[in-house]
Amino acid sequence: MASATSIVPSAGPVAGSRSFLSRLRQGDEIARIITFLFAASVVLVTLLLVFDLWEGSALPRHKFGFIFFRTSVWDPIFDQFGALPFIYGTLVTATVSLLIAVPLGIGAAIFLAELAPARVSDTLEFFIDLLAAVPSVIYGLLGVFIVVPLMRQYVQPVLKHSLGFLPLFQGPAYGVGFLTAGIVLAIMVIPYIISVSREVLLSVPRDQREAALSLGATRWESTWKVVVPFARGGILGSIFLALARALGETMAVTMVIGNTPAISVSLFASGYSIAAVIANELTEATSNLHYQSLIELGLVLFLLTFMLNGLARLLIVATSQRGAGMGNA
């Protein structure tokens, strides 16, 4: 009688307000356990993988310790191994690829979700999904046959001419190098960004857009200031997917990066990435130290991914507004 104004808010069946048995009988607890097992297996597999890498790199870990991270020499004959040039190359190419792919991808996703008529959008999406299926070897070959000559003959000279005062665009231009690898990677990761972002944008309820428009926003404002933030979580998720692919890509990168373990500020310079050197040298590595050093590089990549992901999440938390819809990457 007393609580006419307070409707007991049902926090849902998970609030523990029902007894365990009742949850069990209704199948919820079983569902929870089963799905938990599947989800936990992911963590299990990842831990197992790290353990495998850890064990497999025992020799160089004991021999080099932390110096592995600071040295730049990679000499399989005289048994000197240092990870620095590969870490550098991995970071640079991933950054370049995201700098290109993220704006292009989100822009294209917005276009496909908001502006394009449904049939056009669906058809184009279909083909863009196909891009994700192109084998990385073929991307590598296309890189070699199309992108590298293009870079050497047109793009790099133009950049050198116009922006050559920046150390980024100096030095001899061979066509291969950090910039080319970044561009090829960008092409490879764009489908993930477009595909996932478009779907998430499409699922934003219509009333959100209508509310914005009814308040006098222009089409762009409604999209950029209302719809996109609503879909923020999914879009960020797609960027994580893209980042992961860019960090771990092997075949295509090794065909266009020049494969020189050297650190250079210029984007035209030839470099190397962790995944590329593993792909190149692992199958032929004859000495144990060489083989295990490559495995240790795999571990280093793991660490890099770990830190990059952490950094990205921190950034998200720091810049997120409270209550920004589905925002949780």
Stretch that binds another protein, among 62-70, 77-85, 162-170 (CB under 8 A): 77-85
| Dist CA 157 CA 150 (whole Å) | 10
CB of 249 to another protein, least distance (A): 8
Q: What is the DSSP string of 64-95?
A: HTTHHHH---EETTTTEE--HHHHHHHHHHHH
Our CA angle for 71, 87, 172, nearest 5°, is 90
Is there binding between residue 71 and another protein (CB under 8 A)? no
| Dist CA 161 CA 154 (whole Å) | 11
Among 59, 84, 91, 132, binds another protein (CB under 8 A): 132
Stretch that binds another protein, among 61-69, 154-162, 163-171, 215-223 (CB under 8 A): 215-223
Is there binding between residue 96 and another protein (CB under 8 A)? no
Residue 82, token pair as written in the block: 């240092």
- End-to-end CA distance of the chain, in Å? 44
Q: Which is nearer to another protein, 70 or 219 (CB)?
A: 219
Is there binding between residue 302 and another protein (CB under 8 A)? yes
CB of 226 to another protein, least distance (A): 13
Quickly count: other Cβ atoms within 10 Å of residue 303's Cβ.
Answer: 13
Among 58, 99, 115, 166, binds another protein (CB under 8 A): 115
Amino acid identity, position 254? T
Distance of CA 230 to the CA centre of its chain: 21
Distance of CA 186 to the CA centre of its chain: 10
Among 118, 165, 318, 322, binds another protein (CB under 8 A): 118
Is there binding between residue 119 and another protein (CB under 8 A)? no
Q: Which is nearer to another protein, 71 or 164 (CB)?
A: 71
| Dist CA 277 CA 258 (whole Å) | 11
Stretch that binds another protein, among 63-71, 154-162, 163-171, 212-220 (CB under 8 A): 212-220
Q: Which is nearer to another protein, 1 or 11 (CB)?
A: 11
Is there binding between residue 59 and another protein (CB under 8 A)? no
Is there binding between residue 57 and another protein (CB under 8 A)? no
Backbone angles phi, psi at 130, to 5 degrees: -65, -35
Q: Which is nearer to another protein, 161 or 206 (CB)?
A: 206
Is there binding between residue 202 and another protein (CB under 8 A)? yes
Window 14-43: residues binding another protein (CB under 8 A): 14, 26-28, 30-32, 34-36, 38-43
Stretch that binds another protein, among 58-66, 158-166, 286-294 (CB under 8 A): 286-294
Cβ distance 105 to 242 under 8 Å?
yes
Stretch that binds another protein, among 60-68, 129-137, 157-165 (CB under 8 A): 129-137
- Which residue's structure tokens are 């064990």? 55
| Dist CA 135 CA 140 (whole Å) | 9
